[in-house]
Amino acid sequence: MPKIIINKNEIDFQEGMTVLQACELAGVEIPRFCYHEKLSIAGNCRMCLVEMEKSPKPIASCAMPATEGMNIKTNTKLVEKARKGVMEFLLANHPLDCPVCDQGGECDLQDQSLYYGFDKSRFVENKRPVKDKYMGPLIKTQMTRCIHCTRCIRFATEVAGVTELGAIGRGENMEITTYLEKSMNSELSANVIDLCPVGALTSKPYAFEARPWELKKTESIDVMDAVGSNVRIDTYGWEVKRILPRINNDINEEWISNKTRYACDGLLKQRLDTPFIKRDGKLVKTDWDTAIEKICSKIKSTNFQNISAHVGDMVSAENIFAFKKFLSKIKCTNYDFRSKDFYINTEDKINYLFNSSIKGIEESDLILLVGCNPRHEATMVNARIRKTFLKNKTKIYSVGNPGDLTYSYKIIGEDTQFIKDIVDGKSEFSKEFLTSKKPLVIIGLSALELKSGKFIFEEIKKYLLKNNFINKDWNSLNILLQDASSAACLDLDFFNSSFFENINSNKFEIIYLLESDSLEIKKKNEFIIYQGSHGDKGAEIADVILPSPSYTEQNGLYINLEGRVQECRKASYPPGNSLESWKIFNLISKRINNEVLFNNYQDLKNSTLKTIKNFTKIDQLPKNIVNHSTKIDSEFINEKIKINKIDYYFSNAIARASKTMSDCRQIENNSLKKDINI
């Protein structure tokens, strides 16, 4: 490996590294504003100046490639003087309003000015005034604070894939703007708030809510989709004030979607905090004993074949496991988690997972999308596809029209006949597919919901097995699940193929909804039990309501679309008389069968982990066990693959209760007027 000398110490570095990266390997911290490891190099701020032997002046370490034999010094008087000079220029126009700035306490400029700043400025000229810009309901601007690092512009262009954010003017007169001053049209736009090293871009919903040192910080995961983005939940008392990303290069890198970040204000609205029971057609408050007695009485008087259950999109693996055990005690087998009937094969775990892994997308040289819109179904997966598209020039094709995905792709067909032609080798595309080294096939639920869903999945799997694209080193078969609870339900076998046939024909007398608000029920005389955190669609039709905590108010295991088991940690407390779901099942079971299902949470957690298929460790991918069986036959039906439109900002009960998500939705529908107060 090549070597570089940094502060008299010889360090090994990799080819392609910059001097700044080599310094970090040596344990030397280099101040920076414009540089970010996930973005292109700009070299704007010059804060990262270091001294290089034989160079007449300091060099920008972020933009200088490291080469063999370089002698770098980072702690000389020349370096310190240069950095202090840069800092003086940066503060020349900065308003120095730290006491009223939301970035205070988390500001890179604030931190570095304490070391390199002066107590007095030599500039006597008036500071540059810059008008604040409108960027939508999420981003609050104070552009006089801007230091022109251009991180936000590079993120919008390179990661988010939107070109609305840019710069006008030159030098001191440069301004960051959306040109027409409109909302940024990206599900990732709010990440510019984290990237901004000063207080020019801050969070509009979080403005003046709390100071960072007042907040309790809890490491957790997101449950707004099936990706399992790593997040940090910041709470003030019991109230969730904000959600920020945690770095995990295998899943979300250091980005999160706007829905992940801002749906948290929905945790305060429309909450269920006490049991309800329906009397004379109206829901009235009651106590736990009365509600439990009503449920038990109804269950005892009903044939078990006429009892059904449905799990919602944000239920933890433990609560699913406890729910299934409870249902087995009352002999109920009619349960499911799907909001719409789609084909799924649970004989092999690879049949319902994203087997290439999210990080593995970067290794692919060809991607085929089949009936999916990753931008709305799994935003962070879409961001990773865009990354490999830009970095590796990966070719991307789609069967079905997903709309704007923030990168270029080619629609090669819109019906199932094209899938048949590929697997039969009659398509020109199949030749290109077979010549690729690591192709990816991503099958969406829109395709699996079709009458030919079984054919699409089984024939594609046979095709991939036949051509050795499913092996111990690489698996091209990927299912794009949409909900946080889906993988856990499939691992725990929580579904029944005949569920939808029976519920559509009103064969059930009791329907038990566990945080389920997406199932369409044409209610007649059914007795409906709703157990959840929000008064949403499920609670509206319920006869008994049992309040339970949301995902931030209890510990829980979630399995993401890769099959990775992750821990969601308790960050706050539920309101009122809410009880954890597994405790509610204990109460009902004790009343019916005089039996306690679980003694404590740890007992429940251990039992759940033992049941999860191919489980390895927390935060690790499951064991790669490939079943080469291809015996399942399927019938071909030629039909159009139409990708279901997702109401992205209103996809679950928490999001629907969120004012911020409502504003984003209105922006998306072009109905929210510009905020004149900014």
Give the pLDDT confidence of 442-494 residue by residue, as tens digits.
999 999 999 999 999 999 999 999 999 999 889 999 999 999 999 999 999 99
Per the CB < 8 A criterion, the answer to whether 444 and 457 are in contact is no
- Identify which of 625, 627, 610, 514 has the alpha carbon closest to the alpha carbon of residue 565: 610
Helix (H) or strand (E) holding 499: helix 499-504
- pLDDT for residue 678 is more than 50: no
Q: What is the pLDDT of residues 57-107, one digit of tens each?
A: 999 999 999 999 999 999 999 999 999 999 999 999 999 899 999 999 999
d(CA 138, CA 261): 10
The pLDDT of residue 575: 92
The pLDDT of residue 628: 62
122-128: long-range contacts (C-beta < 8 A, 24 or more apart)? 122/88, 123/88, 123/92, 125/92, 127/92, 127/93, 127/94, 127/95, 128/93, 128/172, 128/173
Q: What is the pLDDT of residues 639-666, one digit of tens each?
A: 999 999 999 999 999 999 999 999 999 9
The pLDDT of residue 677: 45
d(CA 339, CA 539): 16
Size of the chain in residues = 678
- Exposed / middle / buried, residue 298 (Cβ in 10 Å: 0-12, 13-18, 19+): middle
The pLDDT of residue 634: 81
Q: What is the pLDDT of residues 177-187, one digit of tens each?
A: 988 888 888 99
Per the CB < 8 A criterion, the answer to whether 110 and 98 are in contact is yes
pLDDT above 70 coverage of the chain, percent: 98
- Exposed / middle / buried, residue 9 (Cβ in 10 Å: 0-12, 13-18, 19+): exposed
- pLDDT for residue 45 is more than 90: yes
- pLDDT for residue 206 is more than 60: yes
Q: What is the pLDDT of residues 370-407, one digit of tens each?
A: 999 999 999 999 999 999 999 999 999 999 999 999 99
Q: What is the pLDDT of residues 528-582, one digit of tens each?
A: 999 999 999 999 999 999 999 999 999 999 999 999 999 999 999 999 999 999 9
d(CA 452, CA 22): 54
Q: What is the pLDDT of residues 252-303, one digit of tens each?
A: 999 999 999 999 999 999 999 999 999 988 999 999 999 999 999 999 999 9
Helix (H) or strand (E) holding 2: none
The pLDDT of residue 505: 85
Identity of the residue numbered 160: A
Alpha carbon 419 to chain centroid distance? 30
Query: What is the chain's mean pLDDT, rounded?
Result: 93
Classify 650 as helix, strand or coil: helix
The pLDDT of residue 624: 78
Per the CB < 8 A criterion, the answer to whether 513 and 340 are in contact is no
- CA 27 → CA 4, 21, 22, 98, 108, distances in Å? 13, 10, 9, 30, 19
Please tell me which residue, 505 or 62, carries the higher pLDDT value.
Answer: 62
pTM (two decimals): 0.94
Alpha carbon 102 to chain centroid distance? 25
Summarize the confidence of residues 146-165 as an average pLDDT. 93
- pLDDT for residue 339 is more than 50: yes
- pLDDT for residue 135 is more than 80: yes
Please tell me which residue, 119 or 521, carries the higher pLDDT value.
Answer: 521
The pLDDT of residue 525: 87
The pLDDT of residue 633: 80
